[in-house]
């Protein structure tokens, strides 16, 4: 135990007595960095929403947006739907996983739509009639999802 404490103190470049306060400072810095990254990601999502919204004025929007986890895609889809779209389907890959987000004014059942689209990438999901999220692992089938979504 004493050896482990010494090793941690060495890593933190403090004495053994100062390990706990040093770890507290480290964790606080990590929380601050995570908050900053989240704020930057939110700003980036807002910019992506502006670009997607300006790209087309069709009542339904289907787009591929890579690099965002499912929760962020769902947030983006809801934002775009609130901007006047009847339905929004966003599909993307992040960390070798596929995420599918569907937002609707209820002219399209988001939950059943996301489940049927998720089956194309070997996954599943759920949500409500207005907002749903799904995931899968078959990133090579994202184009199939986009085609199927455009046909809705």
Taking only the tens place, the pLDDT of each residue in 39-58 is: 888 888 888 888 988 888 88
Query: pLDDT tens-digit profile of 63-92?
Result: 999 998 899 999 999 999 999 899 999 999
Please report which helix (H) or strand (E) contains residue 17, including its range: none
pLDDT at position 42, please?
Answer: 81
Query: What token pair was written down for 82?
Result: 């609130």
Q: ∠100-36-93 over CA atoms, to 5°?
A: 20
CATH 3.10.310.40 fits 58-150, yes or no: yes
Report how far residue 78's alpha carbon sits from residue 87's, in angstroms, rounded to the nearest whole number. 9
Query: pLDDT tens-digit profile of 94-152?
Result: 989 999 999 999 889 999 999 999 999 999 999 999 999 999 999 999 999 999 999 88
Tell me the CA end-to-end span of the chain in Å, nearest whole number: 62
* Stated pTM of the model: 0.78
Report how far residue 148's alpha carbon sits from residue 118's, in angstroms, rounded to the nearest whole number. 11
Query: What token pair was written down for 43?
Result: 């700003």
């Amino acid at each position: 135990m004493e050896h482990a404490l010494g090793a941690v103190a060495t890593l933190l470049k403090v004495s053994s007595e100062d390990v706990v306060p040093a770890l507290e400072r480290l964790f606080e810095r990590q929380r601050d960095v995570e908050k900053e990254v989240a704020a930057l990601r939110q700003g980036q999502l807002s910019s992506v929403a502006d670009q997607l919204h300006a790209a087309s004025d069709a009542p339904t929007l289907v787009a591929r947006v890579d690099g965002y986890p499912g929760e962020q895609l769902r947030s983006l889809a809801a934002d775009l739907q609130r901007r006047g779209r009847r339905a929004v389907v966003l599909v993307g890959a992040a960390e070798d996983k596929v995420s599918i987000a569907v937002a609707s004014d209820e002219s399209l059942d988001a939950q059943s739509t996301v489940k049927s689209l998720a089956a194309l990438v070997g996954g599943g999901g759920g949500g409500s009639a207005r907002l749903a999220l799904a995931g899968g692992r078959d990133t090579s089938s994202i184009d199939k999802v986009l085609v199927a979504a455009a046909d809705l």
